[in-house]
């Protein structure tokens, strides 16, 4: 049918169940072809890339029955600016001829079955702005020729098997906003050239084997919004933080140590702070209770000491507070009464010395309350409010020094734990 449309320029059949081979030998001057999620059933061959030279956009995304290898193209399609074959069944190595698409702005090859090394010819794509090679089986090192891609704003090499140290190839990529290198086999220190990326907003290098201390440079990454270095082997102290735009900081599962710097209070835009499973110690800066937008605070499995700071004293956004497995002492801070949206409070496995905090029952959104393995003592009194722990689903006060009887009224309030016959869980 398509052979009859001799003047057709735009073909968009995305999400239409075609369930047929890719149409080839089209004579019309197509500029835009979108066959995304159309259940194409065929083997990708070179003939499809011999469509008219007018073709600027080719989208085959989401056709998992589209098989074959990316063919070696022997001529340059100088107009092709967007190529998206992500989440298809394409496999094999990325051919050297990928560099012939010198006009490409966007190249999406994520979620395929590619293997082998990235060819050096990737550096010929000097006009490219977005390059996604994630969720494949690429191996080897990051090619130094990537430094030629000066217009890159988005680079995703995540979920592959890249190895070796992350090379200092990023200094020239001054327009880069998003860099994803997570879930590979990278080793060595934090790459210094990344620190010069003044427009970088999203950096994820989690789930690698990076080691050594975090860099300390006051002017680094001024626009960073998300920084995820979790699941590595980073060590040393946390340097002074000057990330005024930072919203997500995830450093869990490393070997960082020492006290938290007071400058952590400068990260006033923080939404999530996860420092769990490190070796941090000393007191927590009291200013943590003043970060207005903070929703998740996870400090579990460290060596923090002293009393819990007055969380929610000047902020009511916190929904999750987890400090399990530290050395905290003293009482549960009464400032938690201001955490109106608090859903999870886990203070287990510390040395908190207090009576049963029945007053927490007025928190209408609280679903998880973990008090186990502390020095709580006295009777488990009931709260005085009409609705006491109305949404509580998990309640653990084991391994403490509580005494007296368990008042039935306490458990009678746990309406969210009750499952009536015929109800779904």
As a whole number of angstroms, the distance between CA 57 and CA 100 comes to: 16
Task: Give backbone dihedrals phi and psi of 148, rounded to 5 degrees, phi first.
Answer: -80, -10
pLDDT of residue 79: 83
> Mean pLDDT for each 10-residue chunk of the chain (425 residues)?
68 87 67 92 77 82 93 71 96 92 95 96 96 98 96 98 94 96 97 92 98 84 95 95 91 97 89 97 90 94 96 87 98 94 97 95 95 96 76 95 82 71 56
Are the C-beta atoms of 122 and 146 separated by less than 8 Å? yes
As a whole number of angstroms, the distance between CA 318 and CA 339 comes to: 6
| Residue 233, helix vs strand vs coil | strand
Angle at 32 between CA 26 and CA 37, to 5 degrees: 90
Are the C-beta atoms of 356 and 381 separated by less than 8 Å? yes
Instruction: Provide Rg for the chain, Cα atoms.
Output: 28
As a whole number of angstroms, the distance between CA 187 and CA 123 comes to: 24
| Residue 246, helix vs strand vs coil | coil
- Quickly list DSSP for 104-128: -SEEE-TTSEEEEPPPGGGGG-TT-
As a whole number of angstroms, the distance between CA 237 and CA 256 comes to: 6
pLDDT of residue 313: 81
Q: What is the pTM of this model?
A: 0.93
pLDDT of residue 219: 67
pLDDT of residue 415: 74
pLDDT of residue 74: 64
Question: What does the chain come to in residues?
Answer: 425
What count of other Cβ atoms lies within 10 Å of the Cβ of residue 321?
Answer: 21
- Quickly list DSSP for 134-166: -SSEEEEPPPGGGGG-TT-SEEE--SSEEEEE-
Residue 422, phi-psi category: left (phi > 0), alpha (psi -120 to 50), beta (remainder): left
pLDDT of residue 319: 96
Q: Is the dihedral of CA 152, 155, 161, 167 positive or negative?
A: positive
* Domains assigned to the chain: 1-211 (3.80.10.10)
Q: Is the dihedral of CA 326, 328, 331, 336 positive or negative?
A: negative
| Residue 66, helix vs strand vs coil | strand
CA distances from 273 to 246, 247, 304, 321 (A): 10, 8, 15, 10
């Amino acid at each position: 049918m398509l052979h009859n449309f001799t003047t057709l320029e735009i073909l968009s059949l995305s999400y239409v169940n075609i369930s047929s081979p890719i149409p080839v030998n089209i004579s019309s001057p197509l500029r835009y072809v979108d066959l995304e999620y159309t259940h194409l059933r065929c083997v990708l061959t070179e003939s499809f890339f011999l469509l008219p030279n007018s073709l600027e956009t080719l989208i085959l995304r989401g056709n998992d029955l589209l098989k074959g290898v990316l063919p070696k193209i022997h001529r340059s399609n100088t107009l092709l600016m967007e190529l998206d074959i992500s989440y298809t069944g394409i496999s094999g190595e990325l051919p050297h001829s990928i560099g012939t698409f010198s006009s490409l702005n966007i190249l999406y090859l994520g979620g395929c079955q590619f293997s082998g090394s990235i060819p050096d010819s990737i550096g010929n794509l000097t006009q490219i702005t977005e390059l996604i090679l994630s969720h494949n089986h690429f191996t080897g090192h990051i090619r130094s020729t990537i430094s030629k891609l000066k217009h890159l704003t988005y680079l995703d090499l995540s979920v592959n098997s890249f190895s070796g140290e992350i090379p200092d190839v990023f200094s020239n990529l001054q327009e880069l906003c998003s860099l994803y290198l997570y879930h590979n086999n990278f080793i060595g220190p934090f790459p210094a050239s990344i620190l010069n990326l003044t427009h970088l907003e999203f950096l994820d290098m989690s789930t690698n084997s990076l080691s050594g201390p975090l860099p300390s440079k006051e002017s680094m990454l001024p626009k960073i919004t998300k920084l995820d270095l979790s699941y590595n082997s980073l060590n040393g102290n946390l340097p002074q933080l000057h990330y005024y735009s930072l919203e997500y900081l995830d450093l869990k599962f490393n070997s960082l140590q020492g006290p938290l710097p007071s400058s952590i209070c400068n990260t006033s835009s923080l939404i999530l702070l996860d420092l769990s499973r490190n070796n941090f110690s000393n007191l927590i800066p009291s200013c943590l209770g003043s970060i207005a937008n903070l929703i998740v605070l996870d400090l579990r499995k460290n060596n923090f000491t002293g009393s819990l700071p007055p969380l929610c004293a000047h902020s009511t956004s916190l929904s999750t507070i987890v400090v399990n497995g530290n050395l905290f002492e003293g009482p549960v801070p009464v400032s938690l009464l201001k955490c109106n949206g608090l859903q999870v409070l886990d203070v287990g496995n510390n040395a908190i010395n207090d009576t049963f905090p029945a007053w927490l029952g007025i928190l209408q959104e609280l679903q998880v309350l973990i008090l186990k393995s502390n020095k709580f003592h006295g009777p488990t009194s009931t709260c005085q409010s009409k609705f006491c722990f109305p949404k509580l689903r998990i309640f653990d006060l084991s391994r403490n020094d509580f005494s007296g009887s368990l008042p039935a009224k306490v458990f009678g309030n746990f309406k969210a734990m009750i499952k009536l016959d015929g109800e779904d869980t």
